Structure 1
């Protein structure tokens, strides 16, 4: 290397150091979750801010994660067919394929739900907030529903229009069925809203959650 090039390189380094410039930080590695317990939508109220996150317990130890850095995988083992019972017609035609993360735990699949453990009692009117599914992007419709004694109760359903909303109490923890009507990549956007006991209405930022099915 010539003396001129060496001096130029040293000079450039000195300028960068003098200006306090540094290399851009590396992006966080994306994480794929495919089995175990996860509170997909984790509702919290801290420092006057209502926010949504993701609480990962798939390894047995709770970890708070940024939903933008997580892909939730619905494995092929989640494949099923739509029951003939007309009560399940919101999933599609009887016998049609559907991929379901179940309400009850299956060790081979994600046990997905929502939680409000970080929503303190007494902060919001009615001790609750509304959780809204505002948008779904993907190859087909998505529905979240409970089943009790063989009868489904829809919580969210993109097939009959959005937004849909459920009431979530402070400290609540709920698991439900997450049904996807085709293989592919989906983005579900959630938002929380609530009214503080002083009458102030708070809205969380809308947060996108990413699923890969099949």
Structure 2
């Protein structure tokens, strides 16, 4: 038994009760991220377990975080108007406001993406992991899209029904546009799945990510 624990055991009843309460209620401090590089969806596979986390590089030093402890802030500066191009109709009507974390780095906003650096090559068929958006709670629809040759390529869109999914591969690191169609608080729930070489499918636990917009 450690010296510290021995002292705790020898404390008076009142002090011991206070120590027990402190230990029982301890938790990671909540974190709000509002600018800088973050892999919102960080896919890992270790000891036969597929999992989703969050990789925070906003300070320049990578930190693995539990998504439950993090709020991702989409600042008012992210507000744009929906383009008149019909290809962007999934964001709403032309001219409507939409809040977008951009695919290219803007130092005043979150540079948000996903990564599968912690998925070893050869672990899954074709090195592929499917990440499904299974639920959205919030005041508006949510989507993620890339812009390729001036046109959007949608990765997922809660406005056309859920679940909606995209595929990543072992070692992948990808940035995309994250779009929110109204101000307020959102919870996005994702779940990953992949097929092992023998045909068995492994699935992560559903993982909730929290955003506040505006």
Same-fold status (TM-score > 0.5)? yes
- Determine the structure 2 residue equivalent to 1:145: 145
- Determine the structure 2 residue equivalent to 1:42: 42
Distance 1:12 1:65 in 2: 36
Matches within 5 A, 1:33-112: 33-112=33-112
> Deviation digits for residues 107-149 of structure 1, max 9, x if unmatched?
0000001100000001101111101111111000001000012
Structure 1: 4+ residue segments shifted above 3 A: 10-14
Q: Does 1:115 align with 2:115?
A: yes
Q: Does 1:163 align with 2:163?
A: yes
Q: Cα RMSD over matched residues? A: 1.5
Distance 1:11 1:30 in 2: 32
Distance 1:173 1:13 in 2: 52
**CA pair 33-11 structure 1, distance change in 2 beyond 3 A:** closer
- Determine the structure 2 residue equivalent to 1:5: none
- Determine the structure 2 residue equivalent to 1:3: none
- Determine the structure 1 residue equivalent to 2:201: 201
Q: SS in structure 2 opposite 1:61?
A: coil
Distance 1:161 1:27 in 2: 35
Q: Does 1:22 align with 2:25?
A: no
Matches within 5 A, 1:176-195: 176-195=176-195
Q: SS in structure 2 opposite 1:22?
A: helix
**CA pair 179-12 structure 1, distance change in 2 beyond 3 A:** same
* TM-score for the superposition, normalised by structure 1: 0.90
**CA pair 11-153 structure 1, distance change in 2 beyond 3 A:** closer
Q: How many residues align?
A: 201
- Determine the structure 2 residue equivalent to 1:136: 136
1:199 shift after superposition: 1.9
**Which of the two has higher C-alpha Rg?**
1
